[in-house]
Structure 1
């Protein structure tokens, strides 16, 4: 099992800290040790002219199915805070994954679901220190350094596999100024969902032969005021892009209906050595959610203004845009809309059971005016062949969470995606079924 020097040093430091402060009130008393077992199963079917591939010898052979079955294990230790003007805390998590479907032809390259070797053979198991950080707290300010995750409009972990990704870096969050939360962070590397080591950041849709430097962000979130919150963020993917975000969210009521509104605006420009070429695009979206009793109806619209993808770092969630399911609907100049209906069965005597269905469509995808490789810059995005490309998606999901008993909080979720593309749209034509079970155990 590989570990970078930063994490190994931090784990040793954390062990020393625990010994020194074990007698401090709160540090031990408020500590929590939990075990989470997550079983991820997925089966995909390629349709139309889409395929998966299996390496045989030196040749790739097309296949029309892929299976993924992985058992993930997360052992998490979260300490309390030491007493005094400056509080101290630590977090350590051990992650492990075991591949239950190990047929080379079955995993078909693994995708981002299974860790495979260069010849396509699945790795039987992998593990790593998923989280290892030191926390400091003074008044309303906290500083965290090491390996951990973060949740912002410009950088969030994509936690949809057997194990979640985490980042190596540092974060500062303060609520000392009235009415707002301010934060800043810097990350050097990311540990992916199917990775046993930290890697440099690469983009999701651009040329992955080029990686940027670190990932920096800073932003402010207002505290709720009459149901309204606002956010402003800046993000720099060093030597790739600068990104600005402005968001507004409101929750209220209209008679017996609950109504939620979210507006999200993103603006991206190339930065530094332009590892993905010249970039200039924007993304804007509007989402409305209406709730009444067990019913929830959501509608959303988003649009990309620019000749590249609205891109984001691999292993992260790209944005607060509402049209994101199997596909991100983020092609050059793409317009997209969605409708989603969710139903909570608690009203009918089955608390913990929810079902949902959605439909999304993207159109007017046009990359024919792409010129980001002008003046000798690197070619970043293969989009010139996209001329009036389009796609659509439908999906069904059902989830159940146990409400009581020794396995309280355990969950079972199944999801079915149906995606069809034309004109070279990047996500292709696939059907997919997923089944994810999660068992949490509080050890102390």
Structure 2
């Protein structure tokens, strides 16, 4: 029976979530997952091979970097597809063309098209496709059908064995590397960088930002091994141990207009570098398009400030490094009397590192959780946060209610910061009427 409603289409996509399937640092298991999506794409006619694409990997800043590359390409008159994950409020956010989420009707049609491929799939050899696999195939098919000029593809996890590794990118883009998903990517920065470096391809330019020495060495070695020119998106003066490639000359200051936070300048420099490298691949992205796209690029839930009083800051920082950068940006850019922290995380995150970066600066801390299977238990979060807190913790299980408690506690000159998870960020946006879940 064909699927006829949007909810039924979502139910079908989510029916492939397998809570018993866990990521693994074992390369053989990871390679098997890559073989599975490769086989499913082959059954679908290999749509990814008919796209000109940029692939973006990294620990943090991937989504913002994708948004800025997309905006610059679109400002140049190109038709641009965008694949990202996870979504904040609607699954349709994951598959966009010219920043318009895929329509419910088109998603229904894509699910009906992919369903027979899944039913005929060689499960005995490859295993059952995942929800992510199915979404990726639908996105690639959607972009081909729409005849996009460029696809901007965000890596879901890692890079070497991610679905995006099936693509030979025109430019491989790697944002800042830090500790996250260590149970899958490995315990060291070298291990994590090795996974991210897997998107670099022979003869195709790659670009990254200044990295810590062990990560920079991995990217330089990978580029040399596969025969790819490696570029560095950096300030004019860079310490040699940070460098992993040749510096680029920029036509304008890398200052995004709508994406706030000092850390976004690094992402902007990286995105601008990718746009400049796309010129060498035949795309006419001129300096004016770069400036206009950078000024207009937008990515919700990332240092998103809602005017008050009190002001509310929503940010998806979900590891220690991103939490540290979040606090640095708050301290530099958002004067306030007191900070009220609304914090919820996912089970696989280093809660202590997040708490160490933010909790000492908070006058009030409210622990909450998103309504997502990966959300961390409230008691566990509280136990991890308490050693870093200067105030008693409040536990409010629902994000919307936690936000209401924070607003009741806050004075007009205070700042409410909602963070720790993109799922929490999405729930906060919905509670404030900035988005509607579907």
Task: Pick 1 or 2: higher relative contact order, CA cutoff 8 A, min separation 6.
Answer: 2
| Structure with greater proportional strand content | 1
**TM bucket, shorter chain:** under 0.3
TM-score by length of 1: 0.24
Higher helix share: 2
